[in-house]
Each structure stands twice: as structure tokens, then as C-alpha cells.
Amino acid sequence: MHHKPVIAANWKLNHSPTDAKAFLSRFLAQAPKMNDRTLVFFPSAITVTTVVEGLRERPDIWVGVQNVHAEAQGAFTGENSVLMARDVGARVVLVGHSERRHVFGETDAMTTKKMALICQARLVPMLCVGETLDEREAGTTATVVERQLSAGLAELDDAQAAGIMLAYEPVWAIGTGRTATPEDASAIHSVLRTALASRLGERAAAGVPILYGGSVNRGNAATLLAAPDVDGLLVGGASLDADSWASIVRS
């Protein structure tokens, strides 16, 4: 099954609303509407509204949030909820990004709760999975990503599970300049596809886009996208510059 590739920009802790306005005016001038791919921006929570408003004329581009809290509301100072994300116009939520796991200590159990809440709110979760360098060297990559996927799907029904997006991001390749080869990416994407198929059946599994993330740039984007089972890209640093991002989305 051929996917429309999903090309996603994770801005992490960068780009204020003012920066985002300047970015969008420069980017949109170089990126006419493309029906053969889905573009997603993940700005910081404070910048989301500005990006949604800046893309009013571009319903082909989705906006997401980088994280939500594992409870829908309550006494959780500093957090953002799924309902707030939906209300502000977000359509996608990143879940279990390696920085959330490794910098902020998020567990598989938290991933399980967040995935369920996001699906209940009728938003699309983009679940991130990936191994550390130690895990890769120990040969446990497949086990690690299967465990993370299984935690993400644990409380979803089959229809919800078939509606997610997945992103494989080897932790050793994020921000390090080391990129998994297209062969590395295909191999793990194939492991993920097989795990999805055992839960959902071949056909539904084929409908779940699996993105690659980890030191993607304009030099390697096209090669990665061409690799078997790679249905898109989750881009960090190279998405922060409007010109570089425009050239990646045209890959």
C-alpha cells in the first residue's frame, strides 16, 4: 500500500510566536499546496495558536503539539491537556519522544495513558519509539521498539490503533549527526510493521504511516524517504530554518 508520505517538523524548544510568523511567511512562499504528502508542524505549546492561524489558508498542513499530560485536567501546574490541544486547533500529538523518555523520565505506563486520552479526544497520536546506543550494541533493538509499541497500543481498540502514526527514532542518531542508514531504518520499520500486523492484520497495519527520525537533513531526506517501509520523516534541527525545511518537504 503506497502512503502519502508524512513529513513532520518538531521544533522542540525553539521558535517563539514572532519567529513562527517570520518562518511561515518565508516557508509558504516556497511550498505551494501539495496533495501527495501530509505536512505536520509541532511547535511549542505557546506557539501553537500562531502557527494554526498562520496556516488558515493551508488546510493541507496539520499542526500538532509536542506533548500532553496523562490526565485530562486537574491540579497539574505547567502541563497542557488533550482537550486544550484540540480546542486550539491541533490535530496530532507527539507521544513518547525520546527526549520525553530520556530527559523527563517518561515511562511506558505514561505512554499507555496518553495514547488512550489522545484517541478519546479524537486526535491522532504520533508514537515515537527507538533504542539507545547501548540497546543497539546489545542487539535488543527489536525487543525495545516492540515493547514501546505494545505499551502505546495497550489501551486502544483496533480502530484507534489503526489510526495512529508511528515514528522510529534511534536515540543514538538524534542531534548527533549520526543517521541510521536507509537499510537500518527499513529493517526496524519492517519489525514495527510486522508487530502492527500481528495486532491489526496486514491490511490495517499497512495503513499506519511509519516515519523515520534522527539527524534528517536536506542531504539525506530523499534517500531515507525512498527506503522500503519508510512512510515519512520526523525532522528536528533541519526543520527550524524555513529554506531547509522547504527543500526537505519537496524531497
The catalytic residue positions are 97, 169
How far apart (Å, rounded) are the C-alpha atoms in residues 148 and 144? 6
Going by C-beta distance under 8 Å and a sequence separation of 6 or more, which residues neighbour residue 103?
A: none
> Most distant CA pair in the chain: distance in Å?
49
Selection from 225, 111, 134, 132 nearest residue 174 by Cα: 132
CB 238 within 8 A of CB 212: no
Burial class (CB in 10 A: 0-12, 13-18, 19+), 104: exposed
Going by C-beta distance under 8 Å and a sequence separation of 6 or more, which residues neighbour residue 52?
A: 63, 88, 89, 90
